[in-house]
Amino acid sequence: MTDKTFYNQLLSLWPVLLGALLLSGCATSLKPLPQPESFALVPDTPGTAWAPLFDNLPGSRERSWFDIQDVGPEALRWRLAMLDTATTSIDAQYFIWKQDAVGSLMMERLLGAADRGVRVRLLVDDSFLSGEDDMMLAVDAHPHVEMRIFNPFQLRGSKMSLRYLLNLNDVSRTNHRMHNKLLIADGQVAIVGGRNIASEYFDFNKKENFRDFDVLTAGRVLPEISASFDDYWNSGWAYPVTIVDQQHSNASELVSLRKRLRTSAAVLDDWQATADTDPQTLPARWAGLASRLLPGDAHILEDDPRFDDGNLPVQAADRISRLFSTTRKDAMSISAYLVPSDELLEMAQTLTDRGVKIQALTNSLASNNHIPAHTAYRHRRKQMIEAGIELHELRPNPAERDHFEAPGFGAEIVRLHAKILVLDQRLVFVGTINTDPRSMVLNTEVSLVIDSPELARGILAAFAPDFLPENSWQVTLDERDELQWRAGDEVLTRQPAGSIWERLGDSFFGLLPIDTQM
């Protein structure tokens, strides 16, 4: 969606606003709906399917092991491998799951696992599911699949914006979204990180692609990750699809869905042919992956999904903030949306006064897909620099893009979506948490905290190019205390933007008191 299209759509909502307000007043507030509990299915032993991975680990399987997933196509390849290898269970928890090429391919493989008798639990937030009722019901019709919707909108408008308007009377609830992203296979292997399930997060979108990040992990931390999924699944806020939509699907509709998935996923057939995604090669691929896994000690950080008692979902962010305050030498932060609180700014000032080096990478106005979030960041930008933070903003056309975009899928614009924090070249945080109020206070989030010098070094090396002038601008203050954007010999005195619409949007949202919602 272009910025101009966004504003045109925004204006077109005014005729329906009054009607939506009237309807919203008729709705009652939705409450948790307890369902029969279910829990992770974990085999007593990894089984023969996972033997090539666990038999070739470079150390004890009693440790946690990690692989850096900073390249989109590779991140997709390993998700497909997990789905194709699973023999017992698949648990998937996501904020967004689109029906584009990547989303269709993933769903196709998920249903393929269910066809083998694998139990599938699919939990998706309701923010971006408008218009997807047929898909949800058809997936749920599979005898081995159960799909639930987290914190659903009670009044089901056909557009996301309309849903929020229709449920304005319940905004204190609907404003809390599940931003978590987990994929778990057989309780043996998991992927945790920032990627939603859509083409742009895996760099297969010709309009926009995201610089994103996950880790694949196996070993000791897996029971904690599975327990986190179970906590959300059994929270009372995970509503069965059939209750949300008040109808059921049937086998013929599942057949129709499979045909639509195949048509959409066919866009990636050529890539699959060259990327070695054939299930027949899985043993060799898992053995090869094992040899490069990095060791670490890890724990899961998750927010409480039960926010109906007035508690805010701040548990994960609070833990990260406490550990950040103990930094001794250096910190590298990558956050798609960067709106630090007063407390974090004070903490950063204290750390830099002690000689701690803090580097931060976020989106520029030219690369940001969320202009209101950029506006909130702009209000804090100068304070961050004054606090001693070395601040960088991603270019919309970085030179490094060939490293992570799929061949033949170079996009018009590259955006940042990764969420990473590395402290003292040892302690790593990877997950879904941006440094902004929405992640730290409003939405539920999940992250791994990993003590691993090896993983820290790998991540720092993978993202070091992103801080170079050909990939990002460094924002500094000139001799007049004014902001400037530097990249080699290039010096800009006005924030970079991709269009006049971005600048107008940034100015407009700057007039609104919405920073705490970003």
Q: Is the pLDDT of residue 14 over 70?
A: no
Q: Is the pLDDT of residue 354 over 60?
A: yes
Three-state DSSP at 189 gives strand
pLDDT band at 16 (very low <50, low <70, confident <90, very high): very low
30 secondary structure, DSSP code? P
Instruction: Report in angstroms the alpha-carbon separations of 442 from 212, 304, 462.
Output: 22, 11, 30
Closest Cα to residue 509, out of 412, 385, 376, 406?
Answer: 376
Q: Which residues pair with 239 in a beta bridge?
A: 149
232 secondary structure, DSSP code? H
At 408-453, the pLDDT tens digits run 999 999 999 999 999 999 999 999 999 999 999 999 999 999 999 9
Residue 450 CB partners (closer than 8 Å, separation 6+): 64, 66, 215, 296, 297, 298, 427, 428, 429, 430
Percentage of residues in the chain having pLDDT higher than 70: 95
165 versus 389: the higher-pLDDT residue is 389
Overall average pLDDT of the 484-509 stretch: 96
145 secondary structure, DSSP code? E
What are the φ/ψ torsions at residue 437 (nearest 5 degrees)?
A: -60, -35
Q: Is the pLDDT of residue 370 over 60?
A: yes
Owner of token pair 């299930």: 279
Per the CB < 8 A criterion, the answer to whether 306 and 235 are in contact is yes
201 secondary structure, DSSP code? G
CATH domain 300-517 topology: Endonuclease; Chain A (3.30.870)
pLDDT given at position 29: 81
At 275-284, the pLDDT tens digits run 999 999 999 9
Whole-number Å distance between alpha carbons of 229 and 453: 27
What is the SS3 string spanning 413-457?
A: EEEECCEEEEECCCEEEEECCCECHHHHHHCECEEEEEECHHHHH
CATH domain 59-290 topology: Endonuclease; Chain A (3.30.870)
Helix (H) or strand (E) holding 68: strand 64-69
Helix (H) or strand (E) holding 261: helix 251-265
pLDDT band at 156 (very low <50, low <70, confident <90, very high): confident
Q: How far is CA 269 from the centre of its chain?
A: 25
Q: Which residues pair with 392 in a beta bridge?
A: 361, 474
pLDDT band at 25 (very low <50, low <70, confident <90, very high): low
221 versus 4: the higher-pLDDT residue is 221
Residue 6 one-letter amino acid: F
Q: Is the pLDDT of residue 6 over 70?
A: no
* Mean pLDDT across the chain: 93
188 secondary structure, DSSP code? T
Residues of the chain with CATH 3.30.870.10: 59-290, 300-517
Overall average pLDDT of the 453-477 stretch: 98
Q: Are strands 182-185 and 89-94 parallel, antiparallel or unpaired?
A: antiparallel
Both tokens of 293, joined, read 């896994």
Q: Which residues pair with 319 in a beta bridge?
A: none
pLDDT band at 27 (very low <50, low <70, confident <90, very high): low
pLDDT given at position 378: 98
Owner of token pair 């033997």: 51
Per the CB < 8 A criterion, the answer to whether 301 and 448 are in contact is yes
Overall average pLDDT of the 20-41 stretch: 76
CB neighbours of residue 357 within 10 Å? 14
DSSP letter for each residue of 471-495: TEEEEEE-TTS-EEEEETTEEESS-
Overall average pLDDT of the 203-221 stretch: 97
Three-state DSSP at 330 gives strand
Whole-number Å distance between alpha carbons of 353 and 259: 60
Closest Cα to residue 444, out of 453, 458, 430, 432?
Answer: 432
Q: What is the pTM of this model?
A: 0.94
Residue 422 CB partners (closer than 8 Å, separation 6+): 331, 332, 428, 429, 456, 459, 460
At 285-344, the pLDDT tens digits run 999 999 999 999 999 999 999 987 778 899 999 999 999 999 999 999 999 999 999 999
Three-state DSSP at 124 gives strand
Going 366 to 371 to 373 to 378, the CA torsion angle's sign is: positive
